[in-house]
Structure 1
Amino acid sequence: MNILIVEDEALLALELESELEAAGHRIVGQAMSSTEARALTDEHRPDFAFMDIHLLDGPTGIDVGRYLSAKGISYVFVTGNLKRIPADFAGAIGAIEKPYTMNGLENALSYIERFIRGERRNVIPPSLVPAPWLEQRFTGTG
């Protein structure tokens, strides 16, 4: 997958990039602000994005998430404060809570890859907090 990383903490972004590349993915860019995220999205049209909520220009990750969703690009929030995610998850598949483990990230990424390919009836790993719409539609609970 071609992946965009939107994260204002450079070390976390580099660590995530390293893990994703090791798993065989291509990173189309790293953005630290909403302006950078939108520009990279328009330029590279990623398949997927990892989105922090608080960026250099404030808590703008939710707005960028809505922008991605409007363009049909799937994403997950990666955040240390799940309570900041709106009830509708702003169109996100779900969230990965910081700090995360590499094993948890790998499990979430495996699920996300299958989701992007259209496989909708998979067990959601504990490391991925699913958006309510995802849990209801694709796990048979709703």
Structure 2
Amino acid sequence: MNVILIDDETSIREGLKILLSEEDMTIIGEAASIKEGISLIDERKPELVFLDIQLEDGNSFSLLEQLTFRDFKLVFITAYNQYAIKAFKYNALDYLLKPIDPEELHETLLRIKKQEEKNAMEAQLKRVQENKQLQNLTINTTQRMHILPIEEIMYGQADQGYSTFFMKNGKKVVATKPLKEYAALLPEEVFIRVHQSYLVNQRYIKSYDREGILYLSNEEKIPVSVRKRVAVKKRLSQR
């Protein structure tokens, strides 16, 4: 996520930069005053802002009221806990007291990432329900969000509540959701559920033998479950 830091204490900003670099966050700007902060947010349009409540030129609630761009997530950082109730009236996701505890920061970012993942899945499902063809599949790993071109996904494999997607270029991406959730999103005319543990892009199927094995264009072998064999054979005959 693209992040802006607004705090009039250099040491706080430097500490946050170190902690956020370990969380796969990209700092796209920092400011120490209300005036600088307004210009920075409106110009760079961040996804997440860490905002000190008491800045060198006043209270940062006035900063929020003067912004043109408001489509970002907000986390307040402050040395004064008396502002907590007012902070949440501005739809803040969290309120961190100085000095910032790394564990508390990590928990805050984890909640933000989970919400982003949920939003992405809901948006994709909505598009499918509206019969709009997905071009890309957005997934989250434990580290970051990935946008996978659907036509380059060779197959997905289930693994104890996780999913691994194997790509045309040889890379694999481990997602934090079960395969059945992605199966509901991917186009049925392209992907075949050949096994409880496998979802295959039929464009990469080279052959299918009598033993119930699919051979992909990269020579990988995918098993077809007994109860899926008739349906898979019929589907492949229609290609």
TM-score by shorter chain over 0.5: yes
Which has the larger strand fraction? 2
SS of 2:54's equivalent in the other structure is coil
Among the aligned pairs, what percent are the same residue? Answer: 27
* CA deviation after TM superposition for structure 1 residue 83, in Å: 1.0
TM-score (norm 2): 0.45
Between stretches 72-81 and 90-99, larger displacement belongs to 90-99
Distance in structure 2 (CA, Å) of the matches to 1:116 and 1:27: 18
> Structure 2: how far apart are the matches of 1:30 and 1:23?
18
1:78 corresponds to which letter in structure 2? Answer: I
Q: Aligned partner of 1:82: which letter?
A: N
Aligned to 1:28: 28
Structure 1 position 80, deviation (Å):
1.5
Structure 1 position 88, deviation (Å): 4.8
Distance 1:15 1:42 in 2: 24
Unaligned ranges ≥5, structure 1: 120-142
Rate the CA distance shift 1:15–1:88 in 2: closer, same or farther, 3 A: closer
- Change in 2 beyond 3 A, CA 1:38/1:118: farther
**Does residue 102 in structure 1 map to residue 126 in structure 2?**
no
Q: Could you say what the CA RMSD is over the residues aligned between the two structures, in angstroms?
A: 2.1
Looking at secondary structure, tell me which structure has more helix per residue: 1
CA distance in 2, matches of 1:22, 1:78: 19
Counting only pairs closer than 5 Å after superposition, residues 9-88 of structure 1 correspond to structure 2 as: 9-59=9-59, 61-67=60-66, 71-85=70-84, 86=86, 88=88
Q: Which moved more, 1:98-107 or 1:50-59?
A: 98-107
Which residue type is aligned with residue 7 of structure 2?
E
Deviation of 1:64 after TM superposition, in Å, equals: 2.2
Contact 1:65/1:75, CA 8 A, preserved across alignment: no
Identify the structure with bigger relative contact order (alpha carbons < 8 Å, sequence gap 6+).
1
8 Å Cα contact 1:66/1:90 also seen in 2: no
Amino acid at match of 1:48: L
Structure 1 length-normalised TM: 0.73
C-alpha deviations, 1:123-142, integer Å up to 9, x for none?
xxxxxxxxxxxxxxxxxxxx
Q: How many residues align?
A: 118
SS in 1 for 2:55: coil
